[in-house]
Structure 1
């Protein structure tokens, strides 16, 4: 029933947005003001109905996930009983259908705001915007027209209708007791907030597109700049935040030792951001010099079209073999392609329709002009985007060639990090140099080369001195890194030189652009040092783990740690302290060695006291996630206090073992560590048992271990051993010492009510020792201990020192703040302009005037 309501909501949303498109089209066609207002009212009602239906569908899908309605395919595929609430939220957008719905949700909120703020632009803007929403809702419509032809894929399909499982043939009403669960890589707090931020950026990018289409349609393209400024800045800011969040998720969750891997899905989001960033600079150029209007309009529309293209790449299945992030094809590739082609054709047609009104200042630009350096910067953004887009699209080219009957398979870059980085580093250098000069021409009145030399003198000296110092201290040898360091420092020096006098005038000028450029330069420095000066602190001589058929590079970069055995390496002392579970209620790590299993894999009983400060005691039952094991590693750098790392290894039924790193952050560096290998319980080899007859208080030596029998007691309530009142469980307390620590084993000699003897050994995994109390001679007060030994518990780790990676996140924060400041000033200006325009429109309607306001470019400040 609940699924039928959800599907009905989608149908209502689809019908509502279709009706809104029709009504807005009629409003645009109407000649009488009375008819326009009537159609506008109908369009708004239809959009409101559509909005309520979208919200209803989202609420119902959330209810299906939260209440574990596994009779529905979407819930079974993505949710699970043991997932906490915040990960259930992530389940919503893990699938394609949910991601389209969250995108449509943001569009609903933005559409409501556009209706209230667009005024006279509403009919044309909302017509295009509603068309975008039409395509999004169609992706989740789930209506089958005929065999093999469907419109969208509904998230409200029953599992029995889509599954080929034999169980549904014998029991059509079968409902699974648990779901497949969330992809373990997505079980991270950043995946709760990163996807909705990205989709908000996608939704915001459609507004400049719609405003550009409306401006060209009504042949007033100049007005586009002033109306779209806040929206372009908002889309750049939000999409940039989303990209950084995704980078930090990759850094914190994946084990490739970085935050950006030039994966095709990463590239597919990065390219639209570059296009919108270029449009932002084009907007600034037109406001100041009334130049670059056609390019700015084209880039604003290209930003959204590239968003749609990235959606096609990631959701059509075309990247299935080239990206670890791409979705599988749900049969929607044809719809996605139609979505893309429709808006490309519409954009080109509208651009041609309004091209005659694309007038701008025709004054010639010289080398000593703002427009020269701004256009150079815009071209650099475009070239950078093109360099990333072209190789990323190789799978698309292969499909096109195949459609044309050409048997040729182009291969994407084998080492994509090296391939993209070697180009993008030099683009970064060029960005910094052009940005520095562009800011000088923006804020200063440069009339001669002499004036330019005076402005550049101090920043160039500072950059040369500091670059030489940094290169010397960091021993940088790569010429591209040296140039990038120098150009980034130069940009910071120029920006600070301009910013200091402007701080006094903060009430009358925006410093957002300067802050954003400083942030970009700081990020580039972070990129150079964190990626170009990584130090593998786990390099070692050899790995002697049993049966570890590891390649040479793995042996070289990985360090073998035996439990409780200190290891000195690269100026660090590392001690592996053992495997741990995480208590779900407290979030505390519990040593695996101290727990006993129960009938439920998700519950463990505390076998003995292990810590006085965790508030967990012997006999307590804790709830864990059995898939996740945390390996505690104590790290101490020479001359510094120590810290503990707990990298995770997850054994996922669908994906096998997945390692996630743990990170210790300092201002100057991060220590990034993940587990690369660990003992396979099925391959543990035990040496033949050795027996010793011993009395209480006596000791003996065995294979480097010193064992002492401390006492023999009757354990009336042995944990983990079923017994009756007639049972007689004797427990020995055996102290085991080696050169690294002291351990206590408590084997049990159990006599049941039938006088049968069972031996329950105690295994100390840290030292690979299993102790049995094998015989009891109470008359002679003599006991037999049987000891089996194996290799100590061990793991191998890869640990990387990432210098100054904090600069990446600090730079991203500064860049975001700068964009936010610019957004605030543009929003205030747009509101003032809108009030003046509304006044003139009203005056024109009353016959008082037929002119419209013409907003002047910004006043140039000579600082």
Structure 2
């Protein structure tokens, strides 16, 4: 019964997606109000039936219905209930159902929160989303159906969920990552809808911008959570490995970052139209490429799903259709994408263009580094490996000019800027940044040129951001108090500030942990004390414990500093009995400035144990910076411009804002980027 109900709801959702793709677009092209008005109800229906399908599969996991092949392969009767619920996305079929559900959530969100958008534009946007969803439902029903049954013969117990996924981090990481991945489909839909309707002025960028920022924020959090999970769960103390599947998620983030900034310029200055449309297509296409890499079986990774080639061919075909069709439509409409604004070589537009070029270059580097080994092997030239040294070197070369533009951009004016007007501020910012970087580096036990470069760049962003805020609130023409001026800054502007500060915080964490971390692989006896940095780690012993579906050896360690006990850690070496798989659960003591990380190795003769000790300075700043960037995105979305209900008000707000950009003193004419 569960299998039949699940299949029925998916088929109904497929039918609704076909209707959503056809009727609203037909109505928009023929100016048929009745057909256009069907867009919202169809979007609601699509969401409801997809949600029912997801709920049915979740119920099957909770009641241990092992007659479903997917449930039998990814659950077990001894699995805790909360892991049964999250096991729904523990394998390929269920995770793709989650993907489709999130796509339906984005679709219904556009239908709900786009009341200020003209009916024709909204109909086209929802229709494009319907077109994309058709392929997703077909893919699931044909090659990846989570409701396939094992009747009449099925096991009395399941194979259990992959132990790597039996963790809190994997409860929240996939949904957050998918929200970002799928969210770029909305930016894509707005761009394609604008191309179809020929409405290629700045207003479509304003409509698309909050959705793009929201998707970027979710993807930022998803990447950070994935990094955090790998750090503490895999037992190796690393936060980024340049794994191909990590790269697959990183590429849409890079393209999405460029898209956000390009939308800002298109919205405010009516330039970069072609560039913005291409970035919208690229961001969603890279999301689909990541789906192909993860689900096709072409990659071997701890993050990937084992899948048969037919699934990969289906997604590859979808990728070709999306990219090919989008670029063809773009070519047809290219003549209408001419920019009307003008700007000098030294202006905010050029600063943003420079950063966008660098972000795209970084995306190409990651793309080539990820795909080249696959292509090299497929054409019969043998296996090669492109690892962290290549990516680290290339990103070091790209990030220096990127950070320079990031600091200078907000200080410059739209259209034109006299370099002399910024000379003193930039020189002062450089010397403050260099001095602060030297001060931090000299506090460590050795000098590192890369560390100095990273810290100087981080402080450059922070100092330039402070200067930008000061420039907006301190002016000879303003008589009001500074606090009052700060209150008048828009949420969009504070979003830019927090976004840049978050990036600087993240860069500080990356710089210090990459250059000053310490690692020890040691053999310890019970009662032995090991010194790590300024800490003494005492091995108390090991105790055997029994979990719900695993057994474990739990190490007991006391951490001392200057002879004073400061913490007690209990890392574990687990063995999952059904999967016959060992796992490491690290013990971590975290403060704002460092992590002490202990992972159990293997038992040795005489009761000794092999353990790994890590000292990780400022590693939590990496994830803290990502969180700050996401908060900044939330501020930007909260800007009142995106909550205007009537289109006439919307246009007046756009005109008044554009008018306020010019003809005012430099300190009073700043417009926020994010």
TM-score by length of 1: 0.71
2:573 to 649, 656, 659: 649
SS in structure 2 at match of 1:220: coil
Q: Distance in 2 between matches of 1:852 and 1:258?
A: 48
What does residue 573 of structure 1 align with?
536
Deviations 1:471-499 (A, max 9, x none): 22225544333222211111111111222
Q: Distance in 2 between matches of 1:250 and 1:12?
A: 38
Please give the residue correspondences for 1:256-267 in structure 2 after superposition, counting only pairs within 5 Å: 256-267=236-247
Greater strand content: 1
Please give the residue correspondences for 1:602-613 in structure 2 after superposition, counting only pairs within 5 Å: none
What does residue 620 of structure 2 align with?
806
The structural deviation recorded for 1:51 is 2.7
Q: Distance in 2 between matches of 1:531 and 1:136?
A: 40
What does residue 606 of structure 1 align with?
none
> Given the superposition, is the C-alpha separation of residues 243 and 76 from structure 1 closer, same or farther in structure 2, using an over 3 Å criterion?
same
What does residue 556 of structure 2 align with?
632
Q: Distance in 2 between matches of 1:373 and 1:662?
A: 45
1:530 to 488, 502, 513: 513
CA contact (8 A) 1:9 1:53 kept: yes
CA contact (8 A) 1:425 1:484 kept: no
CA contact (8 A) 2:25 2:36 kept: no
1:374 to 352, 361, 383: 352
Q: Distance in 1 between matches of 2:250 and 2:212?
A: 15
The structural deviation recorded for 1:199 is 1.0
Q: Distance in 1 between matches of 2:449 and 2:501?
A: 23
What does residue 836 of structure 1 align with?
647
What does residue 668 of structure 1 align with?
593
> Given the superposition, is the C-alpha separation of residues 63 and 624 from structure 1 closer, same or farther in structure 2, using an over 3 Å criterion?
closer
CA contact (8 A) 1:561 1:575 kept: no
Q: Which runs of 5+ in 1 are unaligned?
A: 142-150, 161-172, 539-557, 582-591, 593-601, 603-622, 685-790, 841-850
CA contact (8 A) 1:440 1:455 kept: no
Are 1:507 and 2:491 matched, yes or no? no
SS in structure 2 at match of 1:204: helix
CA contact (8 A) 1:257 1:672 kept: yes
Q: Distance in 1 between matches of 2:38 and 2:462?
A: 53
What does residue 474 of structure 1 align with?
444
1:418 to 386, 389, 402: 389
> Given the superposition, is the C-alpha separation of residues 95 and 442 from structure 1 closer, same or farther in structure 2, using an over 3 Å criterion?
farther
SS in structure 1 at match of 2:583: strand
1:857 to 658, 662, 666: 658
1:822 to 629, 632, 636: 636
Q: Distance in 2 between matches of 1:417 and 1:462?
A: 32
Q: Distance in 2 between matches of 1:837 and 1:301?
A: 29
CA contact (8 A) 1:184 1:650 kept: no
CA contact (8 A) 1:463 1:490 kept: yes
The structural deviation recorded for 1:114 is 2.2
1:454 to 392, 408, 424: 424
What does residue 483 of structure 1 align with?
453
Q: Distance in 2 between matches of 1:624 and 1:204?
A: 37
What does residue 253 of structure 1 align with?
233
CA contact (8 A) 1:19 1:46 kept: yes
Q: Distance in 2 between matches of 1:158 and 1:359?
A: 55
Deviations 1:189-227 (A, max 9, x none): 111111011111122110010000011111111222111
The structural deviation recorded for 1:251 is 1.1
What does residue 71 of structure 2 align with?
75
> What is the aligned residue count?
644
What does residue 693 of structure 1 align with?
none
Work out which of the two has the higher radius of gyration on C-alpha atoms and give 1 or 2. 1
CA contact (8 A) 1:290 1:857 kept: no
What does residue 13 of structure 2 align with?
13
Deviations 1:758-807 (A, max 9, x none): xxxxxxxxxxxxxxxxxxxxxxxxxxxxxxxxx3x221111010011232
TM-score by length of 2: 0.90
Select the structure with the greater relative contact order (CA < 8 A; seq sep ≥ 6).
2
Please give the residue correspondences for 1:137-148 in structure 2 after superposition, counting only pairs within 5 Å: 137-141=137-141
What does residue 218 of structure 2 align with?
238
Q: Distance in 2 between matches of 1:816 and 1:100?
A: 25
What does residue 2 of structure 1 align with?
2
Are 1:135 and 2:135 matched, yes or no? yes
Q: Distance in 2 between matches of 1:624 and 1:61?
A: 23
Are 1:439 and 2:439 matched, yes or no? no
The structural deviation recorded for 1:520 is 0.5
CA contact (8 A) 1:426 1:484 kept: no
SS in structure 2 at match of 1:473: coil
Q: Distance in 1 between matches of 2:170 and 2:36?
A: 40
SS in structure 2 at match of 1:393: helix
Q: Distance in 2 between matches of 1:835 and 1:91?
A: 44
The structural deviation recorded for 1:855 is 7.1
1:329 to 307, 330, 338: 307
> Given the superposition, is the C-alpha separation of residues 858 and 70 from structure 1 closer, same or farther in structure 2, using an over 3 Å criterion?
farther
What does residue 468 of structure 2 align with?
498
Q: Distance in 1 between matches of 2:573 and 2:302?
A: 19
What does residue 723 of structure 1 align with?
none
Q: Distance in 1 between matches of 2:209 and 2:567?
A: 48
